[in-house]
Amino acid sequence: MERTFIMIKPDGVQRHLTGDIIHRFESKGFTMVGMKMMQVDRELAEKHYDVHKERPFFKGLVDFIVSAPVIAMVWEGEDVIASARNIIGATNPVSAAPGSIRGDLGVSIGRNLIHGSDAPETASAEVALWFDESELVDWEPVRKSWLYE
Ligand code: IDP
Ligand code: MG
């Protein structure tokens, strides 16, 4: 089982799309093991997006992430890291496939609703950055035998 870090960005919260977004991961078959609503500070936002710190959009991105609350989550399941990236869709909503979150709900790259870890290494680093171990819940979903053989 893998775990991945998923964050509904301020636009998703402000547009009241949190239920729609969470529903997609639940109905796909993934299990939520951590969730919190938070007002992010600049330090955390800058750390999270450190890989992009030289990019021209970095300051605007950090301004955006701290501008309103986010929903930070950890989801669990087989291949959840890659699968969540597909559920989320391409970075630019203009080219994100219909059916994906960004393809269905977004129109511009600077307001693309959601973050998802892009690889096993970034997933473990991001889960550790955003969550204390005590905030994550180990539980056994009863539907598991109906999702995996
Ligand atoms: P990802 O979120 O699909 O992994 P990344 O390339 O890692 O995409 O970029 C991180 C975030 O930075 C994007 O989700 C988006 O919010 C923002 N971003 C990326 N490229 C641009 C841009 O050209 N203009 C404005 N914001 C951008
Ligand atoms: Mg990324």
Note the pLDDT tens digit of each residue in 107-149: 999 999 999 999 999 999 999 999 999 999 999 999 999 999 9
Q: Which of 4, 46, 48, 57 is the best mutation target for the ligand 1 pocket, counting ligand atoms within 8 Å of the beta carbon and taking the most?
A: 57
As a whole number of angstroms, the longest Cα–Cα distance in the chain is 47
Q: What was the pLDDT predicted at 2? A: 98
CB 8 within 8 A of CB 71: yes
Q: Which of 8, 11, 86, 109 is the best mutation target for the ligand 1 pocket, counting ligand atoms within 8 Å of the beta carbon and taking the most?
A: 109
Beta strands in 10-148 (DSSP E): 31-38, 70-77, 114-116
Neighbours of ion ligand 2 (CB under 5 A): 118
pTM: 0.98
Q: What is the mean pLDDT of the chain?
A: 98
Q: What was the pLDDT predicted at 105? A: 98
CB 109 within 8 A of CB 103: no
3-state secondary structure 28-43: HCCEEEEEEEECCCHH
Average the pLDDT over 80-90 and give the result.
98
